[in-house]
Amino acid sequence: MKTLYLQRSFLFLWFAQAASGLGGTFAAFIISWLVYDISGSKIAMSMIWISFMVPSLITNLLAGPYIDRFQYKTVMIISEWMRAIVFFIPGILLFLDQLHLPILFIAAMITGIAEPLFRPSSMAYVAHILPKESLQRGNSILEGTMQTMMLIGPALGGLLLTLFGPLVIIIILVLVVTLSGFLLLFIKKIDLVKSEVRPAWLPMFKEGIRFYKFYPVLFWIGILMMTINFSSGAAQPLFLPYVLEHLHGTEFQYGLFMSLFSCGMVFGSFITGSFKQPKNLRFVMLGSLSLGGLMLVLLGIVTNIWLALVVSMLQGLFAVMFTINNTTFYQKRVPENIRGRVFTVRALLAQSGIPLGAGLGGVLAETYSFTILFVALGGLTIFATFIAWNSKIFYQLNIPLEEKVDPKQITTEKTAT
């Protein structure tokens, strides 16, 4: 544990991700509030999410295979400073009382281009600087710290919104994301594996996909995550109107709702980081997803704001238990020279369900009710995990690393024709 705190690059990355987490939480909070304040439409709430997710998926698809060619440090800095510039402009327009809905959609789209560059680069960078035996704990520290910022962010955002208005939130957002990029200037560069051959985009993308031939269970985890993210993608954009209309709460209580989700993630990160990766990984990962689906059903049933806050916290706990174990499982098995592109394929596969869910969620909430929406989404999650529980492929999660095929063969294996 002490070696992590003495690792200079890990420390600066840790602080940078903390600032990035706070800025990202403020961004999600304020752009949701501004869209709802201007339009009052649940469908518009879903559309702003789609405006972010579609460019995000396209960026993952096009840029992902090239991430391993560039310094992860440079990619992360560009990502952070792009986000700072994107929110600086709406801040000026809000100050001049000239902010309109199309500007927010443009800001969401550009953020969708910039943000996906950070996550795969960060995960690949951590796998370079930490030994395998420290990855579980390192991931828990990073994830837990980011979720701590996300714990603080929504409640703080709701308080700042009530006391000072939306402009103050945008100012702080721009400052902390700029700070994140500045801190990343102090992490060390990675000596990337260089090749005289510069393959084109398609062969590199195929190389990322080929990894799943050696670990087919990860392909099916990706399909499962796609289904789960379909449900979360439909639910997340509507949490603000859910709290205000269904639970008859306030903006501050909406902030608490989102903060307690992160509180659950922080607690889950602490629990996960306190132990080695479990031997029965199948039980932990599928169990956490099943319980997460149950919590989504409960959100549709409860009408009391305080009960909903407890459910939100439990959702976060179960979500992070799956996320950390899944990320560590990947990091231990992906060869260094293709980590960026494999993580990108993973994100592309998992996140493709989000915009589809977001489009459906707004329509269902507008046409029917939040009760029908959340019960249906939670039921879909429970059904998907029920299939996984009864599938033999997921028992591969419990096979030790040394018993698997050497992943270095991936880079030399030729594609079958």
Can you tell me the distance from the alpha carbon of 206 to that of 362, in angstroms, rounded to the nearest whole number?
35
H helix runs in 302-338, sequence order: 305-331
Non-local CB neighbours of 107 within 8 Å, separated by 6+ positions: 31, 86, 87, 89, 90
Q: Mean pLDDT check: name the lowest of 52-56, 74-78, 97-101, 369-373.
A: 52-56
- Per-residue pLDDT averaged across 405-413, rounded? 46
Q: By the 8 A CB rule, do 77 and 194 touch?
A: no
pLDDT digits (tens, 9 = 90+) for 139-161: 778 877 776 787 788 888 888 99
Q: What is the pLDDT of residues 177-200, one digit of tens each?
A: 999 999 998 888 876 655 444 556
From the list 321, 326, 302, the residue with the least C-alpha distance to 312 is 302
Burial class of residue 195 in the structure, from the number of CB atoms within 10 Å of its CB (0-12 exposed, 13-18 middle, 19+ buried)? exposed
Give the global pTM: 0.73
Average pLDDT over residues 349-374: 83
Domains and their CATH numbers in the chain: 2-189+199-411 (1.20.1250.20)
pLDDT in tens, 282-315: 898 899 999 999 999 999 999 999 999 999 999 9
For range 362-366, the mean pLDDT: 83
